[in-house]
Structure 1
Amino acid sequence: MTPSGSPRPRKVPRILVLGGGYVGFYTALRLRRRLGKQEAAIVVVDPRPYMTYQPFLPEAAAGSLEPRHVVVAHRRELEGVDSLTARVTQIRHADRTVRLQPDEGEAYEITYDHLVVALGSVARTLPIPGLAEEAIGFKQVEEAIALRNHVLSKIDLAASTWDHDLRRRLLTFTFVGGGFAGIEAIAEVEDMARDVVRYYDSISMADLRFVMIEGSTRILPELGEEMGGYALEQLRKRDIEVHLSTFLSSCVDGHVVTSTGLEFDSATIVWTAGVRANPVLQESDLPLDAMGRLNALPTLQVALEDGTVVEGAWTAGDCAAVPDLANPGSYCSPSAQHAVRQARHLGDNVARALRSAPVEPYKHKHVGTVASLGLGKGVAQVYGIKLRGWPAWFMHRTYHMAQMPTMNRKVRIVLDWTLAMFFRREMVALGRLHDPRADFREASAPRPKPTAQPAAKPAGQGAKEPVAV
């Protein structure tokens, strides 16, 4: 009781969601729908103030979709949820404290009652000479925009030079990693380039060289040998070089060297060779497995190796080792299909826990896999049914459009696709977009003072008339 005799206000538990991607966004959305504001305060932390729907990045890079339409703003769609734009640098669950670092200003700490770790994954890079300096990643919308502008600008530059070796280098585009991200990216970008060269009299499709480097013996292993083989065949029919059982050894200054001895120069190197759990998890006192992922129970609760629940800690998605009950002995794959469903289930379980109700295990049988191979082309295996060509491409678009959150984004995406049926893609490279102050810096730079010129000699004292060449 307070001194006045009135009851003390009950503390509203704080649920802190680390990460605003698939899992973080959908978990916060589910929690807000399940819990009233008097039951829980929900806070989402992410370095970006939006969620990126990654399966649409290849189409954004190819100009089939407006990049802004493949992201969803946290503050607009997560009504009643606090959003903090900052990076997580440390997790101290024993103290129920997380340390955050915003892009500007000093770091600070935030406390919580329940923690949802949805930090996802980062690109899995290797200590390959030249990789950090030359390669472009493909996990964020900024990278998709940069890749589009980069490819278009290289084609522009190639059309403006007579140096054969430089031209060959500018028109060579290399992608490393034959999973979904890499295959869809190279297929969509090659499709875009095919449209672009129609406007260049000096460049033909034969001048473009697209190279895929993959370390395993096949591409798209999730689709099985038959459908992966079909995808490989379709890419090679489009003169895309696919080098299997091949590893990137070096790419210093754009000079690509592979484990099989293949060497060539490439002005574009895109790295899509896998992901790993967010390394910030190493800066926590939560239990991790050998791959750096959080140990999790099927209920999506963080647990010790012996199965003891870590109270108040929850996880899902790419940063979590969640047992796959539909396939005993394995873990859920790092896919959007699992992430979205796990997030909704996680939101329900946290709400149950706050209401002292029993939590339930997550179980989902994988319905299948779809992949785009460019406009009107695709491959899919859904409920055991194998689809190729246009039907698979249509299935790919339909599935991902349905999974895209908010009606606002669904409508905008459908409108983008509809307009693309009647109008060609925009082929303008906004190269200065990534350094918008370049022209202003150049204009503002101090001009060198002109050097004094020797006085002209009077006529007849050694002066010569200019000679026409």
Structure 2
Amino acid sequence: MRYGEATVTVVDPRSYMTYQPFLPEAAAGSISPRHVVVPLRRVLPKAAEVLTGRVTSIDQDRKVATIAPLVGESYELPFDYLVIAMGAVSRTFPIPGLAEQGIGMKGIEESIGLRNHVLEQMDKADSTTDEEIRRKALTFVFIGGGFAGAETIGEVEDMARDAAKYYRNVSRDDMRFILVDAADRILPEVGPKLGAYGKAHLESRGVEVYLSTSMESCVDGHVVLKNGLEVDANTIVWTAGVKPNPALARFGLPLGPRGHVDCEPTLQVKGTDYIWAAGDNAQVPDLVGREAGNENAWCPPNAQHALRQAKVLGDNVVARMRGFQQKPYRHANKGAVAGLGLHKGVAMIVMGKMKIKLKGRLAWYMHRGYHGLAMPTWNRKIRVFADWTLGMFLKREVVSLGAMENPREEFYQAANPAPVPAAVGKPEEKAKAS
């Protein structure tokens, strides 16, 4: 658009965008956490106004959104055109103990929290002689065998294996890694053969993989699986899929059966002429799949589609402003890549009707190359590749910064005055007491 032609306002509770495919590597310490996020105000200095807050309601008749900022009273923000791109949240179930014990993998905070937590469990196991405490601290349970689950357990197992070299009383043989999935295979995005390879590879590293089962409860860390297995674990990582942001239900938009915003192929929300949606919260027809005979084909919620949908959406908003015809979103699947730890991965590359399947080190290079180039802004691309390059020559950092979870605790203990014992009270108080 021409300068001054329109005002673009971005409302988000965080002032940065997270590149989620890199969360497993951030959890393993292969990438600095600051390099996985893109600050919105820095990359949009002139293009957009960034408001840190939440949209609590949308009045479609008045074309007004109600904004709840981080502090202060809510206020109304008028708009002419609206884009819904709220992404997804973890899909959870009412499992006893999950809310209290589970760790998600949807944000950089959870990723770094998982890294600190795992290393802290190794610290606990190394410093105690209680065998029950050691066993619980060194048992790591991951629920969900899709990309997020398989990649996270592969990266974390790699990190724990390296870290164990520096502990006197902890070895890899003392640890127990468990991967659970309700489906009959892991990594369904890369096909059954590569999924079977990924399962065999993880098992060769000592990871227990349980398929066609689920977790029934995890109260106080006591994990009960549907297949009858029971273990005690301090670490329970939940990566069993995602669902659209539940806030969408408050906006009066047409939603699909799973809660996604129902969109036309042009990414315009059905029944409206000024609202668009894209990414994980949008239900967009997959035109390529439908032309192939699948009438119920929808674009899956992944970065491959979200990045391309954003470009089409931007063009269509400008086309609507200027009275031009909008273009439908059309994209054929290019395949999928996944990393399973350092120098290990699987990849399926689609070239026309041909599918190229790779595994091992070459697939890992494909994984890093694809996501490294897809990372937004050259600033972050360079920093990510610099992290990887340094990792080739320097050893992995294995320090736990668990105190970051509650950074003021030590200062609070130092500044909080201790209660005055009754025996050292004022003389008159002693007389009254006697």
**TM-score normalised to the size of structure 2?**
0.94
Q: What CA deviation, in whole Å up to 9, does each residue of 1:94-153 have, x standing for no partner?
A: 221111212222222211000000011111111100000011110000111100000011
1:247 aligns with 2:209: no
3-state SS of 1:327 partner: helix
5 Å matches for 1:68-79?
A: 68-79=34-45
Q: How far, CA to CA, are the matches of 2:370 and 2:257 in structure 1?
A: 34
Equivalent in 38, 44, 52 of residue 10 of structure 2: 44
Once residues 62 and 430 of structure 1 are traced to their aligned partners in structure 2, the CA distance between those partners, rounded to angstroms, is: 13
Deviation at 1:445, TM superposition (A): 2.3
Structure 1 residue 144 corresponds to structure 2 residue 106:
no
1:295 — aligned with what? 262
1:273-326 CA-partner distances (Å, limit 9, x unpaired): 11111111110121111111111011010004xxxxx01000111111100001
**How many residues align structurally?**
414
Matched, 1:387 2:349: no
CA distance in 1, matches of 2:208, 2:57: 44
Q: Which residue of 2 aligns with 1:416?
A: 387
C-alpha distance in 2 between matches for 1:94 and 1:138 = 37
Q: What do the CA deviations read for 1:216-252 (whole angstroms, capped 9, x no partner)?
A: 1000111111010000000000010111011110000
Deviation sequence 1:380-424 (CA, Å, 0-9, x none)? 000210000000000000000111111111110111001001111
Distance 2:136 2:416 in 1: 32
| Residue of structure 2 aligned with 1:347, choices 314, 320, 339 | 314
2:235 alignment partner AA: T
Structure 1: segments with no counterpart, 5+ residues: 1-34, 305-309, 454-469
The corresponding residue for 2:280 is 318
Deviates more, 1:368-377 or 1:349-358: 349-358
Shifted more, 61-70 versus 99-108: the winner is: 99-108
Match of 1:444 in 2: 415
**Which residue, 174, 189, 193 being the options, matches 1:226?**
193
**2:147 is the alignment partner of 1:171:** no
Q: Which residue of 2 aligns with 1:54?
A: 20
C-alpha distance in structure 2 between counterparts of 1:355 and 1:425, whole Å: 53
The amino acid that maps onto 1:225 is P
Is residue 435 of structure 1 aligned with residue 401 of structure 2? no
Alpha-carbon distance between aligned partners in 1 of 2:279 and 2:315, rounded to the nearest angstrom: 16
Match of 1:86 among 38, 48, 53: 53
Give, in whole Å, the separation in 1 of the partners of 2:95 and 2:223. Answer: 11
**Contact 1:62 1:189 (C-alpha < 8 Å) held by counterparts:** yes
Counterpart of 1:400, as a letter, is: H
Distance 1:350 1:154 in 2: 50
Q: C-alpha separation between the residues in 1 aligned to 2:61 and 2:195?
A: 46
- What is the SS of the residue equivalent to 1:174? strand
**Equivalent residues of 1:94, 1:285 under 8 A apart:** no
Aligned residue number for residue 114 of structure 1? 81
**What is the root-mean-square deviation in Å for CA atoms of aligned residues?**
1.1
CA offset at residue 37 of structure 1? 2.9
**Aligned equivalent of 1:401:** 372
1:64 aligns with 2:30: yes
Extract structure 1 runs of 4+ deviating beyond 3 A. 448-453
Secondary structure of 1:87's match?
A: strand
Q: Secondary structure at the match of 2:179?
A: strand
In 2: Cα distance, 1:211 partner to 1:104 partner: 42
- Bigger radius of gyration: 1
Whole-angstrom CA distance in 2 between matches of 1:230 and 1:95: 55
The one-letter amino acid paired with 1:278 is: N
User: Could you tell me how far apart the structure 2 residues matched to 1:149 and 1:164 are?
Assistant: 22
Amino acid of the structure 2 residue aligned with 1:48: R
CA–CA separation in structure 1 for the residues paired with 2:420 and 2:78: 59
C-alpha distance after superposition, 1:54-86 (max 9, x if no partner) = 000000000000000010000000132100000
**Matching residue's letter, 1:415:** A
CA–CA separation in structure 2 for the residues paired with 1:176 and 1:93: 40
**Equivalent residue runs for 1:324-343 within 5 Å:** 324-328=286-290, 329=295, 330-343=297-310
Q: What residue is the counterpart of 1:467 in the other structure? A: none
Identity across matched positions, percent:
54
